[in-house]
Structure 1
Amino acid sequence: MAIQYLILLSRQGKVRLAKWFTTLSPKDKAKIVKDVSQLVLARRTRMCNFLEYKDTKIVYRRYASLFFIAGCSSEDNELITLEIIHRYVEQMDKYYGNVCELDIIFSFTKAYYILDEILLAGELQETSKKNVLRCIGQQDSLEDMEIFDGGKPPSFVSRDEACGRWCCDSYDEQRREIVSGPRPGIGQTSTQHWEESEP
């Protein structure tokens, strides 16, 4: 069971995300995207979600304004591929809260992270939703650490000399403390949490 590519396509035919698990030239990729998008966009709602394209099977499913299109080998089970697409959408929905096309456009790196946790070289790698969310949360915490450790902190953030913690001045001159470490919860895009501290 190997998926060769996964393409997220808008109703207008714009590619929102494309992941290739086989080595192809840019010209071949562009031809596949063009041909597959024409095939899928021309189909009516009540038509079958499986179709054949050259020596591959195209499995697609529409969620709101996006088409999730997977290309797999002709021997693969279409229903498993359809379930992988659905699992990917569920994971993104849990991570973003209620995922929409704009989330994928403006935060496409997270969409790729989630896909990379689910699929490895086109094969299903992780089926546990909790494990995928945990790994994405760890990646978020690493990114947050890089912001403060690798670069200069923002101007509104300063280190409290008394306790050595990062603090942020609020509008009413009270101090707010950044509590570091992962925070459990579905739909949070950051693993750091702001808490009110004693003035």
Structure 2
Amino acid sequence: MTRTRILLCAAALLALSLVDIAQAATGPARARLDAFATGLHSLTGHFTQSLTDINGKVGKTSSGTLALEAPRQFRWDTLEPQKQTIVADGSRVWLYDPDLEQVTVRVQSTEESHSPLTVLTDLKQMDKDFKVAEQGEHDGLLWLRLSSTAKDPQFDYADLGFDANGLARMVFRDQLGSTTDIRFSGWQRNAPIPASDFNFVPPKGTDVIGDAPVISTQPLKD
């Protein structure tokens, strides 16, 4: 799964934590979304993800943990089969690849603007930029589909699948026909998250590429 896809998913999850629950549900999947977001300030959990190409070939499954905290912070740690860390601190997104000893830094607002789901924080914006449709029930989940109305959309569609406990899957299909399937488990709602989890400091000797602030380096905390 590419870094861009991971960022899209993380931004989408962050958006879910900010949904205006006063918005009226328009169907059973939307009702599940509203219930999932009620009173939500922070969220931690586990994920597994896979990419299927246009020919139906499934790539290796990766897995890890994630943490999100309103309004703009998230952390996405891929643990298997290769380690990778993505941290959004509220102003920048840090993409760290320990094997390459490299971190790429980007302005967070730029990353968020590419997510097809961040508009879930604003129903009027969602109705303007996306076609939103209930997809019924399949695979034991209720599904909601977002299709961008942009001239050059990043994705063909993004589907959210909900079970009785909340968001269970996210499925993105890109313009080339590849599909990313992300499954979630072990959600912990509103558990305290250390501030240090969202404060990335590049390990000593790491190449830093992009729009990084002036900072000192120190070993990355395990």
Q: TM-score of the superposition, structure 1-length normalised? A: 0.31
Q: Compare CA radii of gyration and give the structure with the larger one.
A: 1
Task: Answer 1 or 2: which has greater helix percent.
Answer: 1
Higher relative contact order (CA 8 A, sep 6+): 2
TM-score when normalising by structure 2: 0.28
